[in-house]
Structure 1
Amino acid sequence: MYADTRSDPLHALLGLEAALAGEERELRGILNLGANDIVVLRLLLAAEQAGDLVRPSEISRTLAISTAATTALIDRLETRGYLARRPHESDRRSIRVTATIPDDSPVRAAFATSRGHRADALDGLPPEQRDAVASAFRRLSDAIGPSE
């Protein structure tokens, strides 16, 4: 379909997927964490940066795992000091989950470096290209991701 693989979006996507998989393998090895642990910590750190709250149900939905598996995962990461359960501010019956990784921790540094590489790659794009990239990522996520 495309004469030049550099202009083929699917070829570029394969390259991105390979790079992300390699980065995740490296993070898992350095931090001695599982794949789901990495996803949860990324979710919590992104929520922290955005000022959002994360409930256990959001973790279950994100990972497409049962509430029992979510509880076990939260327990494991809480025991390792990576997160904590806190009462929800507006719903007394609910809890939220927050990252408790110290600012000077190698774990936080590894995630910050990972996020920084992504941000650096996108920062130089003009606003209309950033919008197009964001739209393409959302469309791909919707097309590939689990339906709710």
Structure 2
Amino acid sequence: MDAPERDSATHFWYTGDPESQAAVDVLQALRRYRTAETRMRARTRQEMRMGENDILAVRHVIRGRQTGHFISPKDLAELLGISSASTTTLIDRLEKSGHIERRPHPTDRRALILMPTPNADDDVRAALAEAHDRMREVAESLTPEERVVVVAFLDRMAGAVGA
């Protein structure tokens, strides 16, 4: 780590003791990861020529198909935290780009479900496969004990920032 990054003056939460500095080092590593992930998402959006919600919508619809759960427009609105009007515009855009299809619900004739097109699978795979492979390799390089610690830490951090 560069000296400026470890400089206590740059961290408002640093208290001066060695244990606090070690915790700051962990938080700085987490910050570097988040920055790298944000850049990866931006590259993916640029490659796919899609906005963040567009990519998230396609991922939710693909995941729904993979898990056998039908995703309705209402479900998508809730998952993305957007209005029904915004959802309609989003679905129209994804349908026009060839990533999503509206289909009748198999058991409820009044309802619609969203299904990914083969094009959607191919585009997402092409954009994310290399990064996901590299990420999986890093995760697989951990010992079982390290994985337990990392998962517990990340779950606790998610709880801390989600509270």
TM-score (norm 2): 0.69
Q: Find the partner of 1:23 among 20, 40, 54.
A: 40
Kindly provide the amino acid, as one letter, of the partner of residue 140 in structure 2: D
Q: Find the partner of 2:112 among 95, 107, 110.
A: 95
1:83/1:101 contact within 8 Å kept: no
Shift of 1:41: 2.0
Query: What CA distance in whole angstroms lies between the structure 1 residues aligned with 2:111 and 2:151?
Result: 32
Structure 2 CA distance for partners of 1:77 and 1:52, relative to 1, 3 Å:
same
Structure 2 CA distance for partners of 1:107 and 1:139, relative to 1, 3 Å:
same
Query: What CA distance in whole angstroms lies between the structure 2 residues aligned with 1:118 and 1:85?
Result: 33
- In structure 2, the partner of 1:73 is 90
Q: Find the partner of 1:54 among 61, 71, 74.
A: 71
Shift of 1:114: 3.6
- Is the counterpart of residue 2 in structure 1 residue 21 in structure 2? yes
Shift of 1:119: 2.5
Shift of 1:134: 4.1
Percent identity, aligned pairs only, is 34
Q: Tell me, what secondary structure is at the counterpart of 2:29? A: helix
The alignment covers a number of residue pairs equal to 144
> Higher mean Cα deviation, 52-61 or 76-85?
52-61
> Higher mean Cα deviation, 129-138 or 109-118?
129-138
- In structure 2, the partner of 1:125 is 142
In structure 1, stretches of 5+ residues that fail to align are: none
> Higher mean Cα deviation, 101-110 or 114-123?
101-110
Query: What CA distance in whole angstroms lies between the structure 2 residues aligned with 1:26 and 1:50?
Result: 27
Query: What CA distance in whole angstroms lies between the structure 2 residues aligned with 1:75 and 1:47?
Result: 19
Query: What CA distance in whole angstroms lies between the structure 2 residues aligned with 1:80 and 1:26?
Result: 19
Shift of 1:39: 1.5
Kindly provide the amino acid, as one letter, of the partner of residue 52 in structure 1: H
Kindly provide the amino acid, as one letter, of the partner of residue 102 in structure 1: N
- In structure 1, the partner of 2:55 is 38
2:98/2:120 contact within 8 Å kept: no
Rg larger for: 2
Structure 2 CA distance for partners of 1:2 and 1:92, relative to 1, 3 Å:
farther
Q: CA RMSD in A?
A: 2.9
Q: Tell me, what secondary structure is at the counterpart of 1:2? A: helix
